[in-house]
Structure 1
Amino acid sequence: MSSGEWPPAPSPELCYSAQTLRAFLNRSRALTDDVISVDLNGLPIGASTAERTSDQRGAARKRDCGEFVKSRVFSAWDSRDSIIEYCKDIASTSKAEQMNTVPTHEIPVDPRYDPYAQRTAAETSKDDQVLGWVANESLIEDIVRDRSWSIVCDKCADIEGATGINGNGWKAAYEVWRKNKKQ
């Protein structure tokens, strides 16, 4: 991952390097989720605050929180989701292709007779490793997002969708945002 490219372009190299994949995910989390409380505390609620009524300040805060969540938080989550899904697809496709090319009736060969016989198994296990990393990072994403959404709800209690649709939390609000983004 080059230091100037953010977010990194999806590539198989990104997926097959746990260090690079985790570096991207950790950096994205550090820039968004780890500082969400500070960022929300620093949101301006508009000029001439003293002249506004509490209703006007509340409406400005709600608007500013909503814009922050959509532009910064959901956007970062979407970037991470895109990379995670891409890597999952790459590893799944590669694994499926290898399963189709390896005869199922092969008998394991003793490595003393053929030291190269394990190459296919090693490549397949690399795909399994990527799928394992992706599954693990998806679980971490859920934990990070639960924590971040809790902070959003605390700091922006009256934000539209703060509790999600029908109180379902971040998952419902994020899905609505993703659907609206595609339109």
Structure 2
Amino acid sequence: MSQPPAQPALTPQFCFSSLALREFLRLSRSAIDDSITQNLNALVTPSASGFDPASTHQRGTGAAFSSRGGRVDGARCAAFKDKVLFPTWQARSDVLHYCAAVATSPDPDDPSAALREAEAERDRERVIDERLDPYSARFFPTEARTERLAALLRMEKGVENIVRARTWAVVRERCDPAGGGFGGGEEAWEAALGKWRAQRHGQQNGP
């Protein structure tokens, strides 16, 4: 299994770098979600000492490792879910939530602020006569970088929901609820992730 990228330092500069933001999300999805079938196939022969997130780097071949594969023991799936899948999803959620806050916060350092002010001034001075020029009333100001970031985040959140639903469907199909307590059933990924977050929060705040 390819290791997902480490969560980047959360700064406004990172969020405003659309290339860096999109690359982190792409690499994270590629390592875990886009390879979910192969990652689950690798759990069929886990480490003898128990689940090791690094143990899934070896992917099996042959009839036992078809494109969909067979059932994977529920306990092994649960360990993969708790130690690899959900932490990876959470890292992406943290990035998206942080950048969403940046997109809705004041941005006094926006380098395009002066340009937009100049555009607004020119627009106020324009003479609009739609009888002579039906397009004279049109005005397309330069977008603030917070607006561009918000648009990017809306798109990426939509992609994230699709990716997670697809991944979770494969996990539920492949993981055997009778094999050790995975208990996927028909539970939606949002509910399963919410339970994991609550459990982690309880562990962090336990005695």
TM over 0.5: yes
**Cα separation, 2, equivalents of 1:62 and 1:127:** 44
Corresponding residue for residue 51 of structure 1: none
Q: Is contact 2:77-2:182 (8 Å) kept?
A: no
8 Å CA contact retained: 1:15, 1:21? yes
SS in 2 for 1:7: coil
User: Are the equivalent residues in 1 in contact too, given 2:77–2:175 (CA < 8 A)?
Assistant: yes
Cα separation, 2, equivalents of 1:174 and 1:95: 33
How far 1:160 moved relative to its partner? 2.8
- Alignment of 1:87 with 2:99, yes or no, is yes
**Partner SS for 2:75:** helix
Q: Following the alignment from structure 1 to structure 2, what is the Cα–Cα distance between the partners of residues 18 and 162?
A: 35
Listed one character per residue, the Cα deviations across residues 42-87 of structure 1 (whole Å, up to 9, x for unaligned) are: 113575xxxxxxxxxxxx9111100101111100000000000000
Partner of 1:34: 34
Pair 1:19-2:41 in alignment: no
Q: CA RMSD in A?
A: 2.8
Correspondences of 1:106-145 after superposition (within 5 Å): 108-110=120-122, 122=142, 125-145=144-164
The equivalent of 1:103 in structure 2 is none
Per the normalisation by structure 1, the TM-score is 0.71
The separation in 1 between residues aligned to 2:191 and 2:183, in whole angstroms, is 8
Tell me the alpha carbon deviations over residues 88-128 of structure 1, each in whole angstroms, 9 at most, x when there is no partner. Answer: 001111269x9xxxxxxxxx421697xxxxxxx75x62101
**CA–CA distance in 2 between the matches of 1:83 and 1:162?**
27
CA distance in 1 between counterparts of 2:148 and 2:183 reads 37
Give percent identity, aligned residues only.
Answer: 29
Gaps in structure 1 of 5+ consecutive residues: 48-59, 99-107, 114-120
TM-score between the two structures when normalised by the length of structure 2: 0.64
Any unmatched runs of 5+ in structure 2? 49-71, 111-119, 126-140, 203-207
Over residues 9-63 of structure 1, what are the superposed CA-to-partner deviations in whole Å (9 max), with x where a residue is unaligned?
A: 111111101111000000000111011111111113575xxxxxxxxxxxx9111
Tell me which structure has the larger Cα radius of gyration: 2
Task: State the SS of the aligned residue for 1:42.
Answer: helix
How far the C-alpha of 1:154 sits from its partner, in A, is 1.2
Find the counterpart in structure 2 of residue 162 from structure 1: 184
Asked whether the equivalents of residues 73 and 176 of structure 2 are also in contact (C-alpha less than 8 Å), the reply is no
Q: How many residues align?
A: 148
User: Which structure dedicates a bigger proportion of its chain to helix?
Assistant: 1
